[in-house]
Structures are given as structure tokens and as C-alpha cells.
Amino acid sequence: MEVTARAPGKIILAGEHAVVHGCAAVASSIDLYTSVSLRLRSEDEDTIKLLLNDIGLDFSWSIRRIKEVLSHLEQRFPESKIGLASGVYAFLWLYTSILGFKPATVVVSSELPLGAGLGSSAAYCVALSAALLALSAPVELDKSQKGWFTLKAEAELVNKWAFEGEKIIHGRPSGVDNSVSTFGNVIKFKSGVMTRIDSNMPLRMLITNTKVGRDTKALVANVSARKSRHPGVMCSVLNAIEAISDEWCTIIQSNAVDDLCLSANEEKLGELMEMNQGLLFSIGVSHASIETILQTTMKYKLASKLTGAGGGGCVLTLLPTHVSGAVIDKLVEELESFGFQCFTAGIGGKGAQISFDHSS
């Protein structure tokens, strides 16, 4: 039998950078997924294969070799491939920890760009953990179910394993990315405490990837340095960002009774995004590429803000229900003419899901 698990990426809706200083932030799943298919093979085949479809790399290890080198694997890759090496090491560690040394073929494919702040590594770890656990002895799932189904009682276990994978890749992750990817919907987090928010508002965003790499640690350090130089002002800015996070949660949890009410709420969220972006610019985390996207979307009277660390990465543009497909197509064409990459995504959807292939 073959199992496929998929897990969504994430965006920060509000509160990035302020969250480092003890303020609230709000993150949401997006309906762009990383999928992991796992097929166990007969015991006499004696190999574990990993196929990374999107980067065109295949790995194959004999069980004997894995047992030999697992503890030294981090040193077995060239420095330039450190990101890939950590991802492969996370795979081998999760695989052998959950399933032992059973021969198998694992295929990974993703709709998420790597390293763009959309939670691609967390989605990878969550989908991988879910697929492995689905075929492990302690987890009893109804394998006769057809189509995609959402994890329930098993979700906590998937999240714990995924967090361990994220530690291998990132060292000291917050746990937010894997939690959003596992449980879906919206999560508010503050000082290490996460609260799940049930959004009642169907939202769509245009996500524009600047393709500009960013140094998250340096950006965070620069904000802290600015705070030490201007403590009073920065405190006010960070508190204002937190107020925006709180208002986001209030609006998306409210029930819009009709289209007029929904439209008014979308307008409020657009204003919050514009204010949030202004505050992020004021603390020094914008970038020329981000400003180009902001100026372009402003021509279409659409609200945008950076998401994540800033300094490049991705920009969110709210797509209200009244905006036509033709307008969005025109905007995307203009943004892509700058060399940016665009995705449209639904916000706050389902978390990790599993599907069993009954044909094999």
C-alpha cells in the first residue's frame, strides 16, 4: 500500500518582528502544499530511496550503509549544500526513528518555493512525519478511507515529530511553522504561547515572491539595535503592530451576516495591512523589491504588506471578493514582468491530510 500525506505552507498575517520582542503575531496556513508519498517495499530489496522531484535529485541508500553513517551524516555533505544536507538528514532521522529500517521509496514534491518564508521546510517535515506515522504500528488509521482526510487525534503526534525535524533543519525553530502546517487555519502566538483561531472569513491573497534572499538573523538584529537606540519610539511601534495582530483576530472571527458586511471587513483588513507595512518600513525591514510590489499593487487600489522577515522574501496582497479575475491577471502580468513569482492562495484552510492509494 502507498500513502500520500500533504501539508500546507504558511504566511505571517501580522506581527512579524514584533513577536521577537514579546508581542503577538498571527500566522495562517495557505492552500499551497508539500506532498510526500511513501511506498514500503519487500524486505529483500534492502534500500531506502528518496526522490526530490522539484530539484531533480534522487538518493538511494542501502540499509547497512544508513546504519553505518547515520550518526556522521551531517559531515558527509559539502558546505554549499548545507540546506539540502539538513533536509536529507531530517528525512533519514525521522524515517529511521518512526519506521526503523524498512525498505521504501519516498517521493517529495512541493508547490512552495524554497527559502521564501512560506514555511516550506515545516510543510516538508509535517508531510513526511504524517506519511511515516500513517504506516507505523502505534498509529491506527482506517486505511479503507477514500480521498483526503484530515488528521484528528494523530495531529499532535505528527506535530511533535515535525518539530524535531525542524530542529535538525533550523537549529532553534519557534514551532509556529510546523504547528500551522499540522493544524491549519490561523494561529496567534505570543511569548511562546500558541492559540488556535477559527477564521470565519474566506480570504484570498496574492503572494509575490521577490526571489531576493534575506538574512533573517541580521534583520532581527538590526531591529533590536534600532530599539536600543530609540527605545521609547520603538516600543510604541511594536505595541501598534501588536494592536494590528489583535484586530486581525477579532475581524476574522466575526460572522459577516451579508456581502456588505464581508466587504467592510475586507476593507478593514486592507487598512490594517497598509498600517502594518508602514510600521515595518519604519523599523527598517522593507527592501527595494518589496517597495516595487507595493507601488504596483497600489495602482490597482489593493493593499499589500511584506510577510516574514522582510528584506526580500514574499509580499501579501489582499484580494477582496469584488476584484475580478481580469484585474488579478493584469496585476500578475505586471508583477511577473519585474521577474517576481506570483501565487494566489486561499488563507486559513485545512492542515495536514492523508490519502491511501488502494490500487497497489
Considering only CA atoms, which of 112, 330, 123 is closest in space to residue 207? Answer: 112
**What does the chain come to in residues?**
360
Distance CA 222, CA 284 (A): 8
**Which segments of the chain does DSSP mark as H helices, in order?**
63-69, 82-99, 120-134, 155-170, 176-183, 216-229, 231-253, 259-282, 288-299, 325-337
Give the rounded distance of the alpha carbon of 64 from its chain centre.
35
Of the candidates 54, 58, 142, 177, the residue annotated as catalytic is: 177
In the chain, the N- to C-terminal Cα span, in Å, equals 6
Distance, in Å, from the CA atom of 277 to the CA atom of 286, rounded to the nearest integer, reads: 8
Residue listed under C-alpha cell 498571527: 26
Cβ atoms of 86 and 173 within 8 Å: the answer is no
**Closest among 248, 216, 181 to 15, alpha carbons compared:** 248
> What is the helix (H) or strand (E) element at residue 50, kind and residue range?
strand 47-52
357 catalytically annotated: no
3-state helix, strand, coil in the chain (%, to 5): 45, 25, 30
Catalytic residue positions, numbered: 177
